[in-house]
Amino acid sequence: MSPSTRLLHSNVDYVALNRQLEELTLTDFLRWSVVTFGERLVQVTSFGPTGIVILDHLVKVNPDVRVVTIDTGFLFPETYALWEEIERRYGIQIHVVRPELTPQEQERLYGPALWALEPDVCCHERKVKPMAAAVAGQHAWITGLRRDQSTTRNQTPLIGWDARYNLFKLSPLAHWTREAVWDYIRAYNLPYNRLHDLGYTSIGCIHCTRPPADANDERSGRWQGRMKTECGLHWPVRPFTPCRE
């Protein structure tokens, strides 16, 4: 840890700290994050609604904050259009990390349609491995996870330790609802992925994203027909110290 980082993982009382952070507004949470982690703070986003609400606040707290996205090479045209719109609106450059393998190299190595045959391997190549580059040298990363997104996310703390990548993981809107996020987007006319207007509720790669099968489960359009529910970036969630006893 650099001297600018005021937290040391082994010394943190996560239960107490999460209790304190739950009391803060989003802006105050992000101010605390910027003060605590300094330049070693990064937002990693795939431009989902929650990530955009966070970004809208974060650039006001620190216009120089580092924002990174992982371009799997399989994103929707609407997602690339949103990416450009966000850069224009906020006057920022979003850093991009890409998989080591191009889609063509992946096909040569693994065969066609890896996402259909072995989606965990495909996600590992195109998301989990690039994520290491996205957070390299950082002390904390900001995610757009919310507890109401799925049963695998319903224990998400505002701050936890990401043992896979060895840094703090911040989910400042973990306790917001989907409705609250969309209320904010509409109230402040924030950009969003136009696929939401077509009924998509959670948007990832083009090969693995459909409108939700269950209207009450916003992530049920991801990897439809499979047991898979997460790409691997946010797994495991539960071993993070939960914020509630």
- Contact mark string toward ligand SF4, 195..234, x via CB under 6 A: ---------xx-xx----------------------x---
- Residue number, nearest CB to ligand SF4: 205
What residues between 18 and 77 interact with ligand SF4 by CB under 6 A?
Answer: 72, 74
Helix (H, G, I), strand (E, B) or coil at 212: coil
Least CB distance to ligand SF4 at residue 166 (A): 23
Please report where in the chains the tokens 């990174």 appear, as a residue. 68
194/207 with CB nearer ligand SF4: 207
On the question of a cis peptide bond just before residue 239, with omega within 30 degrees of 0, the verdict is no
Q: What does the DSSP assignment read for 4-67?
A: T----GGG--HHHHHHHHHTS-HHHHHHHHHHHHGGGEEEE----HHHHHHHHHHHHH-TT-EE
What whole-number distance in Å separates Cα of residue 14 and Cα of residue 77? 40
Question: Scanning residues 68 to 87, which ones bind ligand SF4 (CB under 6 A)?
Answer: 72, 74
Smaller CB distance to ligand SF4: residue 16 or 116?
116
How many Cα atoms within 13 Å fall on the side-chain side of residue 66?
Answer: 18
Nearer CB in complex with ligand SF4: 13/105:
105
| The residue to which tokens 């605590």 are assigned | 36
Known catalytic residue at 231: yes
Residue 115 in the binding site for ligand SF4 (CB under 6 A): yes
Residues that bind ligand SF4 (CB under 6 A): 72, 74, 115, 119, 122-123, 126-127, 204-205, 207-208, 231
List, by residue number, the catalytic residues. Answer: 231
